[in-house]
Amino acid sequence: MPSSNHSLDVVIPVYNEEVDLEPSIARLQAFLRENCPCQWRIVVADNASNDKTPEIAKELAGRWPEVSYLRLPQKGRGRALRRAWLQSQADVVCYMDVDLSTDLKHLMPLVEPLLAGTKQVATGSRLMPNSEVIDRPPLREFTSRVYNVLIWLMFPGRTFVDAQCGFKAATRQAVHKLAPQIKDNEWFFDTELLLRAEAAGYQIHQVPVRWVDDPATTVNVIDTAWKDIKGLFRVRFGG
pLDDT number for residue 2: 59
pLDDT number for residue 112: 98
Residue 178 banded pLDDT, cuts 50, 70, 90: very high
- CA of 108: how far to CAs of 11, 71, 153, 178, 190, in Å? 15, 27, 32, 23, 20
pLDDT number for residue 139: 85
Work out the average pLDDT over 12-41. Answer: 98
Residue 16 in domain: yes
Category of 45 on φ-ψ map: left (φ > 0), alpha (ψ -120 to 50) or beta:
beta
pLDDT at 41 over 90: yes
Domain that includes residue 165, residue range: 7-237
DSSP E strands in 49-157: the ranges are 67-72, 92-96, 121-125, 132-134
Q: What is the CATH number of the domain that holds 166?
A: 3.90.550.10
Mark whether 51 is an active-site residue. Answer: no
Active-site choice (9, 190, 213, 214): 190
Residue 20 in domain: yes
Residue 17 in domain: yes
Residue 2 in domain: no
pLDDT at 190 over 60: yes
- Nearest CA to 107 among 119, 90, 95, 120? 95
Work out the average pLDDT over 39-43. Answer: 98
pLDDT at 15 over 70: yes
Q: Count of alpha carbons within 13 Å of 65, Cβ hemisphere only?
A: 1
Residue 217 banded pLDDT, cuts 50, 70, 90: low
Work out the average pLDDT over 95-112. Answer: 97
pLDDT at 239 over 60: no
Residue 1 in domain: no
139-151 pLDDT tens trace: 888 988 999 999 9
Work out the average pLDDT over 202-211. Answer: 97
Long-range contacts of 59-67 (CB under 8 A, 24+ apart): 60/21, 60/22, 60/25, 64/25, 64/29, 66/29, 66/32, 66/40, 66/41, 66/42, 67/25, 67/29, 67/41, 67/42, 67/43
pLDDT at 192 over 90: yes
Residue 84 in domain: yes
- Nearest CA to 99 among 193, 13, 205? 13
Residue 123 in domain: yes
pLDDT at 137 over 90: no
Q: Which is more confident, 224 or 48?
A: 48
- Nearest CA to 123 among 162, 92, 91, 156? 162
d(CA 49, CA 97): 15
Q: How many domains does the chain have?
A: 1
Q: What is the DSSP letter of 60?
A: H
Task: Decide if 225 contacts 143 (C-beta within 8 A).
Answer: yes
Is the model's pTM score more than 0.75?
Answer: yes
